[in-house]
């Protein structure tokens, strides 16, 4: 095998080939591949001698640029509330972001970061960042002066995928360009007690579990227990089920044993629906593996 050293050949060129069978969407495909070319030129790390196959960005970040390019070049990026009927979380939110498998997922993450973290400054800085994956995004945020971590913005995006609210906290959890149908809930509970329920979640993915307890509408307590060897984030969305208005978003940090307790003190008075958002934020979990957890809920006794 002949090993090439990139950018050292006068005859080098880049070519996008679009098959005749794809002409129905040639414009979008060409824009998508053009995004790859731009990223390749800006974030093309030195080719290693040991493993010449793996020498640049991970797929889930690379595909963010190509899907973003397609939206930017073929649609009005600044038009608000365009219905996105392909949103992955409408059918299955438990898809691992860091192991690429869904174009719509990475598109929505890039657009969210564009809208909330510097727009073109974010794009230009990230595309030139030579670190890969989570490290590259975290470094980009730091370079732009943001004090948030990758896990912070991941949590923000996951909550936005459920509430998509332009009013709550000045649009912190809002997708400006796209609008969506209802996010899928992995479980819905309408009565207490909720016995211990076992579940799993993929790395950098989420489950949305709702508690819409009709009988009595009294305060209740949710107990969460995760695999102590894994990392989790939790958030509780408190809302009104009639008008979908968000009362509050409450992040809850699990303790060192990955356990957490949340008490819905104002349930029935200030809000009547609680959505527990379970997020796995553990980069060490390999592809096709999950993090286990359980939860239960009982009426508050005191």
Same domain, residue pair 50 and 191: no
Please tell me whether residues 71 and 91 are part of one structural domain. yes
Asked, for residue 6, whether it belongs to a domain, the answer is no
State the first-to-last Cα distance of the chain, in angstroms, to the nearest integer. 73
Q: Are residues 102 and 155 in the same domain?
A: yes
Co-location of 27 and 173 in the same domain: yes
CATH of the domain at 235: 2.60.120.380
The torsion defined by the Cα of 95, 97, 102 and 107, in degrees rounded to 10, comes to: 130
pLDDT of residue 3: 43
**Residue showing tokens 């209740």:** 220
Provide the whole-model pTM.
0.89
Closest by alpha carbon to 66, among 101, 99, 100, 106?
106
Domain membership of residue 44 (yes or no) is yes
Is residue 14 included in any domain, yes or no? no
Do 174 and 78 have their domain in common? yes
pLDDT at 294: 98
Quick one: 39 and 100 in the same domain?
yes
**Total number of domains in the chain:** 2
Range list of H helices, 3-132:
26-42, 59-74, 88-91, 103-116, 120-128
Q: Is 98 inside a domain boundary? A: yes
Same domain, residue pair 141 and 218: no
**CA 161 – CA 159 distance, rounded (Å):** 5
CA distance 189 to 44: 49
Other CB atoms within 10 Å distance of the CB of residue 259: 14
- 38/153 same-domain check: yes
Q: Tell whether 15 is covered by a domain.
A: no
pLDDT at 244: 85
Within-domain flag for 1: no
In a domain, 87, yes or no: yes
Q: In this predicted structure, what is the pLDDT of residue 52? A: 52
Residue 74 is predicted with a pLDDT of: 87
Low-confidence ranges of the chain (pLDDT < 50): 1-6
Residues 194, 170 share a domain: no
Tokens representing 54 are: 């793996």
Q: Which residue has the tokens 């971590």?
A: 149
Instruction: Classify residue 107: in a domain, yes or no.
Output: yes
Q: Which residue, 142, 160, 179, sits at the end of a domain? A: 179
Q: Which of 179, 210, 242 is the last residue of a domain?
A: 179
Q: Which of 144, 179, 214 lies at the terminal end of a domain, its last residue?
A: 179
The strand pair at 187-189 and 206-211 is best described as parallel
Residue 49: per-residue pLDDT: 56
**What is the pLDDT at residue 37?**
74
Please tell me whether residues 139 and 235 are part of one structural domain.
no
Mean pLDDT of the chain: 89
| Same domain, yes or no: 198 and 259 | yes
Give the angle subtended at the CA of 21 by the CAs of 19 and 27, to the nearest 5°. 65
Range(s) of the domain holding residue 259: 187-299
- Do 173 and 207 lie in one domain? The reply is no
So what's the pLDDT on residue 2? 42
């Amino acid at each position: 095998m002949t090993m090439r050293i990139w950018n050292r050949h006068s005859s080098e060129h880049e070519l996008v080939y679009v098959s005749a069978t794809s002409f129905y969407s040639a414009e979008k495909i060409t824009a998508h591949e053009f995004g790859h070319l731009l990223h390749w030129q800006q974030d093309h790390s030195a080719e290693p001698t040991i493993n010449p196959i793996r020498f640049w960005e991970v797929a889930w970040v690379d595909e963010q640029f190509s899907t973003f390019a397609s939206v930017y070049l073929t649609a009005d990026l600044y038009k608000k509330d365009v219905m996105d009927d392909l949103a992955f979380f409408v059918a299955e939110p438990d898809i691992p972001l860091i192991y690429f498998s869904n174009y719509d997922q990475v598109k929505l993450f890039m657009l969210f970061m564009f809208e909330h973290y510097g727009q073109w400054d974010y794009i230009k800085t990230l595309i030139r960042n030579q670190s890969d994956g989570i490290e590259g995004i975290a470094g980009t945020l730091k370079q732009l002066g943001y004090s948030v971590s990758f896990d912070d913005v991941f949590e923000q995006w996951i909550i936005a995928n459920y509430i998509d609210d332009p009013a709550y906290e000045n649009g912190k959890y809002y997708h400006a360009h796209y609008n969506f149908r209802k996010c899928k809930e992995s479980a819905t509970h309408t009565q207490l007690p909720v016995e211990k329920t076992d579940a799993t979640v993929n790395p950098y993915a989420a489950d949305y579990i709702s508690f819409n307890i009709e009988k009595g509408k009294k305060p209740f307590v949710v107990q969460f227990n995760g695999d102590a060897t894994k990392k989790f984030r939790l958030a509780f969305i408190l809302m009104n089920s009639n008008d979908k208005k968000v009362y509050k978003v409450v992040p809850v940090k699990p303790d060192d044993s990955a356990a957490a307790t949340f008490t819905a003190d104002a349930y029935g008075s200030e809000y009547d629906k609680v959505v527990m958002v379970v997020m796995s934020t553990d980069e060490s979990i390999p592809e096709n593996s999950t993090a286990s957890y359980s939860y239960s809920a009982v009426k508050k006794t005191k």
